[in-house]
Amino acid sequence: MTLLFAARPSERLRREPVWTYAVILAIGMAYGLSDEIHQFFVPNRSTSLADFFADTLGVAAAILARHLMWKYLNRRITNIEYRRKSRDP
């Protein structure tokens, strides 16, 4: 889900508001919780709080990776634009 968020098309890189990351984290946590509840009703499967926290950590890691990717790409684009402007007479 976070990868789809990161891959959505836009005409330029822009910083996402913090609430966007919070909503993505909440949706990921809800999905992980629903998966654990589902496993409770499946024979030979167990529900684990550790699995829920692992799912949550995975979503948080994906959000962090997306944020760091944004910072890196934005810095590269800014440097390229600066070099182009400094070369033009």
Percent of the chain, pLDDT > 90?
Answer: 37
C-alpha to C-alpha distances, 86 to 9, 64, 81, nearest whole angstrom:
29, 33, 9
Confidence (pLDDT) at 31 = 93
**Please, which pLDDT band fits residue 83 given cuts at 50, 70 and 90?**
low
Higher pLDDT, 75 or 38: 38
Residue boundaries of the structural domains of the chain: 18-87
User: Which of 18-22, 28-32, 69-73, 82-86 has the least mean pLDDT?
Assistant: 82-86
Question: What whole-number distance in Å separates Cα of residue 35 and Cα of residue 11?
Answer: 36
